[in-house]
Amino acid sequence: MINPHGSTELKPRYVYDDAARAALVAEAEGLPSLLVNSAAAANAVMLGAGYFNPLAGYMNLADAQAVADSLRTTDGLFWPVPVLNLTDDESVEAGSRIALRDPNVEGHPVLAVMDVESVDEASEEQLRAIGEKVFRTLDPEHPGVATFLSLGRRVLAGPIQVLNFSYFASDFPETFRTAVDIRAEIAERGWEKVVAFQTRNPMHRAHEELCRMAMEDLGADGILIHMLLGKLKPGDIPADVRDASIRKMVDVYFPPNTVMITGYGFDMLYAGPREAVLHAVFRQNCGCTHLIVGRDHAGVGDYYGGFDAQTIFDDEVPEGALDIAIYRADHTAYSRKLNRVVMMRDAPDHDKEDFVLLSGTAVREMLGKGIAPPPEFSRPEVAEILMDYYRSQG
């Protein structure tokens, strides 16, 4: 199986030994505590689950700046996005050991124990410089920028030991999986070549066929459908609805033992190209050999060019920095001429009218009115689940 990023074995920060974990839980009750923000909590979950291998904890300001500027930490590790614990709490000091409390679970239980190696005070200019490099914009309307610049200016750095996976394991028991879990299941299934598909949306016909195309083109053994389960921007469809619709699509339209349906606990950054590279890192840590990168991967609005998330792998990712390969996808749509879904680049004789094209807004309006999108766009079984959701929203 493909090696994890930066090491030969996965190094998750979750404490798997029951006795050691129980001792840490007991110790944490006597430690000074910090209620972290959702972004820092999501980073802790990803560190615990092995997705951020080989990182041991949160970055300091120098590493965050180096990653933003050059996609490398100060010690040379290739990494695309700073992994930070930002706060405005002034009580935490360097050299302390603290309990990190979960903002997303009632009662704010301890999520992790952190050894604080350093505390840096970032200036507004430094944070804006990091944000501009990562998001390619400082527009406050960009949801990722708005979140990042609101998290605080104190940078708490150091290793963590993770005690649980927040609400993800309890709310999505059939879907949430760690990188450790996924690698084990890939090995159990005997898959060698595995294609990952990232999604934060329900999957329509075009997404379904894109997975099928990638699998056939690459001669892959299976597809990892890997959905984001964390916080999204307002208007995005909740994870439980996406989960149900994707499971229905796979059950009905894919052969057995060709698809793994899984999810991961992270808040969406909407960082476009940089987030696409981050997606590649943690799919390599899952054991996948390929990641599908389509048009406007991990983007939002009009902040990124349609193929920027592909060209970053040519222009900014050094040769050999990642072992995982990219499957480059064009916009996919149903061809009225050919009566099947195609990549638009493969149909040069087509005009726009030859494709079944619907905007996200148009689809949401149809679903909200109880109107199923055409079957060329969305499978009827999937549309029914989505219509039920929109009807429930009133």
The catalytic residue positions are: 200-201
Q: Residue 256 CB: number of other CB atoms within 10 A? A: 7
Q: Find out whether 329 and 294 touch, Cβ atoms under 8 Å.
A: yes
Q: Find out whether 237 and 268 touch, Cβ atoms under 8 Å.
A: no
Give dist(CA 130, CA 125) in Å, integer: 9
> How many residues does this entry show for the chain?
394
CA 110, distance to chain mean position in Å, is 23
CA trace torsion 124, 129, 132, 138 (10° rounding): 30
Give dist(CA 250, CA 197) in Å, integer: 13
Give dist(CA 19, CA 30) in Å, integer: 18
Tell me how many degrees the CA angle 227-229-234 measures, rounded to the nearest 5.
110
Burial category of 4 from C-beta neighbours within 10 Å (exposed 0-12, middle 13-18, buried 19 and up) = buried
Give dist(CA 380, CA 373) in Å, integer: 8
**Six-digit token pair at 312?**
């970053």
